[in-house]
Amino acid sequence: MATRSKSSQRWLKEHHSDPFVKKARAEGMRSRAVYKLEELVARDRLLKPGMVVVDLGAAPGGWSQWVRQELGDSGRVVALDILEMPPLAGVEFLHGDFREDAVLSRLEASLGGKPVDLVLSDMAPNKSGVDAVDMPRAMYLSELAMDFADRHLKVDGAFLIKLFQGVGFDEYVKELRRRYAKVSIRKPAASRKRSPEVYALAQGKRAEIK
C-alpha cells in the first residue's frame, strides 16, 4: 500500500477535525459545503416556496439536498454534474459534462422552456496544482454558467457562483455587474481560509445587458 504524502495526511487530519464536517455528519448532510450555501442564501432570503432552482456541479449533492429541504414539497430542484450522484428524493439529477452541448440541451429540455428563479454553481475543474492551467479551466466553467443564467434565468432572478481569485476574476465580476442590479463577493465561514475560492452573489437580473 502506498504511503500518504505529508500534505494528504495533513488534509485528512484537518478534514476529520473540521467542525463543519462533524456538523454535516451529525445532521445527515452530504457535504460540509451545505453550510456555505446556508450562510449565503439565508442572508438575502433567496429561497422562496415554489421556486425553480438549478444546481450546476451538484455532486455529492449537499446543496441540492439542503435546497430541497428548504423548499419542502414546492418548486423544483434540477441538479447536474459530470460525476455520478446518489439519488435524492425530490431532486431531478442529470449526469453529464456541462461543457458538452448535448448535455446542456438535455438540461434545457428538462426545464421545458420555463424560466429559472435561482441558478447555483459550485463547479470547479479537477486541479492540476498549476495556476496557469487551473485558472483558465475554472474561468471557462464560470463563463458557461453565466451563459446558462443569461439564457434561462428569469428577469430579477439570482445567480450564485463559486469563483477563484486570480487571472480573469475582475473581468468576470465586471460582466456580472452588467447583467445584475446587485453583485456581492462573499467568503462564507465554512470556506477554508487558505482557499482562493469566493462566492459571487448576483441579484436582480436585468432585462437587458448594460
Binding-site residues for S-adenosyl-L-methionine, in ranges, read 61, 63, 81, 97, 122
What distance in Å separates the CA atoms of residue 33 and residue 38, rounded to the nearest whole number? Answer: 9
Distance from the Cα of residue 70 to its chain's centroid: 17
Which residues define the annotated binding site? 61, 63, 81, 97, 122
What distance in Å separates the CA atoms of residue 24 and residue 18, rounded to the nearest whole number? Answer: 10
User: What is each CA distance from 49 to 14, 76, 131, 159, in whole angstroms?
Assistant: 37, 10, 41, 17
All 3 cell numbers of residue 73? Answer: 414539497
Cis omega (within 30 of 0) for bond into 115: no
Residue with cell 452530504: 30
Residue with cell 477554508: 192
Q: Is 36 an active-site residue?
A: no
Catalytic residue among 127, 154, 162, 174: 162
DSSP 32: T
Distance from the Cα of residue 13 to its chain's centroid: 26
What distance in Å separates the CA atoms of residue 152 and residue 108, rounded to the nearest whole number? Answer: 8
What distance in Å separates the CA atoms of residue 55 and residue 36, rounded to the nearest whole number? Answer: 14
**For the CA atoms of the chain, what is the radius of gyration?**
17
Annotated catalytic sites, by residue?
A: 162
